[in-house]
Chains A and B, each alone.
Chain A
Amino acid sequence: MNPFLAQQVQTVDAPGIDWGAILPMVIVFGAACVGVLIEAFVPKHQRWSGQVVLTLGSIAAAGIALGAYVSGRPSHGVLTMAGTLSIDTPALFLWGTLLALSVAAVLMIADRSVEPGGSFVAQAGIAPGTVQDRAQVQSTGMQTEVFPLALFALGGMMAFTAANDLLTMFIALEVLSLPLYLMCGLARRRRLLSQEAAVKYFLLGAFASAFFLYGLAMLYGYAGSVKLADIATAAAGTDRSDTLLFAGLGLLMVGLLFKGSVGPFHTWTPDVYQGAPTPVTAFMAACTKVAAFGGILRVLTVAFEATSWEWRGVMWAVAIISMAVGAVLGLTQTDLKRMIAYSSIAHAGFLLIGTMALTDEGLSGTLFYLLAYGFTTLAVFGVISLVRDSSGEATHLSAWAGLAKRSPLLAGVFTFLLLALAGIPLTSGFVGKFVVFSAALSDGMAPLVVIALVFSAVAAFFYLRVVVLMYFSEPASDGPTVSVPGAFTTASIALGVIVTLLLGLLPTFALDWAGAGGFALGG
């Protein structure tokens, strides 16, 4: 029975909060609120600089707080806020990853040198195609609400990866999704596409979160609690109806796999990646994937490990569909952003293999893969934002023909990043695939690993096609120009390239941290 009902207690003890552990998240959310106040009270021409300083400063402060916490207390995880948040090694690793990735993403969002005024619309209220709209394309203003929105999304992602019960997870899912829906619709150019991406992402995202919620309700009916540990206890030894458990798990996974853009729930990904402003696409591709797979890992490991024999077959099918869709449809794409979107669907399939392993190697491998993939894909979108023609970014493949003759450096960087996505040795992509596949092999998933290798070979073909196009084709006479990036975009691309290279050459440090401990179970 519920203690509140049984005892009629008048005083309720406030749950203890371990402020040191959640400080990084508190800093991010606090800065997001300050960012909203800046929008309200600071004059328009000062907002951009204020927001950039605030956003980067708060992410750096959160990183320092995280570093201080990790170095001061290498514990096996604490449960705080009445057990709703679990600050354990995977959560801390994912927080570090998210903060590092969002620094690079915010730098790209803030960049105003590649396109005068930045990639974001000056006033989102102006209808596209009107006289005012043509004027605002020329202006140097920018809708600076993007920065607090990005911080809110980042905070939601951090809460999502640490959430130890399904309700917290649902709230965090919405906190990370709602700002992203808005950010998708704020492109300066090609606004019809951008708004269309926002509508599609929003309707499908809300649809998926309704499924997540219904799964939550079923599991609550099954276990009498939404705490992951309680669901695990209930699933381990009762004679309760399995219908509720597996219907709940299925519905829950639909919501989670949608966010991770996996397999048959991927349909939004190409449209949204193509339509959204490129910095936002980079942010989504890197950070949302990290958060979604962090959540999937935690749910499967903590709550559903005991029933893994029942659901693993279905997840095999999902992983195979995801890899097949990503690799095969990626071959037919003619737009670079869309192609990278299909590549992200294929990568989601690879990640799912590591997630399914449910061993320590599977956990650390997946965490490493997320870190490696995040930085590579961020840098890829950074490079894509540099190749432009008169109407904005030239993302059509034909525009990239012979680019190596015009800009050898850019072509070289892009080749390196594509090779990392394909998983060629000496890049982080190779190490990531290696650790994930070897974890799956040792967990008895050899057939799945063989299928994954076949599909990574298929996917390698469309990456190499771009490389061949850049080096061995004649450039078109009216082709795009390669913009000289400003300090911000240069920094974020450089960060992505350096991390991709370092993780490929010296992966031990990150692997050790990723493997330093499992999820804090607790109750």
Chain B
Amino acid sequence: MTPTYYLLLSALLFSIGAVGVLVRRNAIVVFMCIELMLNAVNLSLVTFARINADLDGQVMAFFVMVVAAAEVVVGLAIIMAIFRTRRSASIDDTNLLKY
């Protein structure tokens, strides 16, 4: 089992997340795709910790989890506020500000 495969998997997950952010229309799904990107990063951090044979990467993965949780709190609050107003979480509807 070479760790490189995990790096490729994490790159794949990160790309799926990034494409999802760009193509999906629902704010919640976009947000989930961002979480997928963060967790893909966690996978590569842990893999690199294994390759470098130290613990820093694993500790960093915990930091990322905490930050991601804080981001969920703020993000869902904002999405909830706009959902209450518009009765929709589609990011195509939020189009008052342009040009």
Give the interface of A toward B (CB within 8 A).
1-2, 4-5, 124-125, 127-129, 167, 170-171, 174, 178, 181-182, 185, 191-193, 195-200, 202-203, 206-207, 210, 213-214, 216-218, 220-221, 224-226, 270-271, 274-275, 332
Contacts and interface: CB of A to CB of B under 8 A. Distances in A.
A178 B74 contact: yes
Given A1-B53, A2-B55, A182-B74, A197 B97 contact: yes
11 contacts: A1-B53, A4-B55, A195-B85, A196-B82, A196-B94, A196-B97, A198-B81, A207-B34, A210-B38, A221-B47, A271-B98
Contact of A274 (B48, B94, B97): B97
Nearest to B22: A207
B82 A199 contact: yes
A221 B91 contact: no
Contacts of B75: 181, 202-203, 206
B34 A185 contact: no
A221 B82 contact: no
A274 B91 CA distance: 18
Given A195-B81, A199-B91, A213-B41, A225 B56 contact: yes
B16 interface: no
B14 to A, nearest CB: 6
A199 B71 contact: no
Contact of B96 (A124, A196, A203, A218): A196
Interface in B59-95: 60, 63-64, 67, 70-71, 74-75, 77-79, 81-82, 84-85, 91, 94
Contacts of A197: 97
Contact of B85 (A129, A167, A203, A213): A129
Interface residue SS majority, chain B: helix
Nearest to B37: A210
A192 B60 CA distance: 38
A210 B41 contact: yes
Interface in B5-29: 7, 14, 17-18, 21, 27
A170 B67 contact: yes
Interface of B: 7, 14, 17-18, 21, 27, 30-31, 34, 37-38, 40-41, 44-45, 47-48, 51-57, 60, 63-64, 67, 70-71, 74-75, 77-79, 81-82, 84-85, 91, 94, 96-99
A95 to B, nearest CB: 23
A217 B77 CA distance: 29
Nearest to B44: A217
A60 to B, nearest CB: 29
Given A5-B55, A127-B84, A127-B85, A203 B97 contact: no
Contacts of A200: 94, 97
A167 B98 contact: no
Contact of A203 (B14, B30, B51, B56): B30
Contacts of A2: 53-56
| 7 A-B pairs closest in CB distance | A221-B48, A210-B37, A2-B54, A271-B97, A196-B94, A224-B52, A217-B44
A202 B96 contact: no
B82 A195 contact: yes
B21 A207 contact: yes
B41 A214 contact: yes
B17 A202 contact: no
Contacts of B48: 217, 220-221
B42 to A, nearest CB: 8
Given A127-B85, A167-B60, A178 B71 contact: yes
A266 to B, nearest CB: 14
Contact of B67 (A171, A181, A195, A218): A171
A271 B62 CA distance: 33
Nearest to A208: B34
Nearest to A181: B74
A206 B71 contact: yes
B17 A210 contact: yes
A393 to B, nearest CB: 15
A123 B85 CA distance: 14
A4 B40 CA distance: 27
A4 B37 CA distance: 30
A226 B91 contact: no
A203 B34 contact: yes
Given A203-B30, A221-B44, A221-B48, A181 B78 contact: yes
Given A196-B82, A199-B94, A214-B37, A182 B45 contact: no
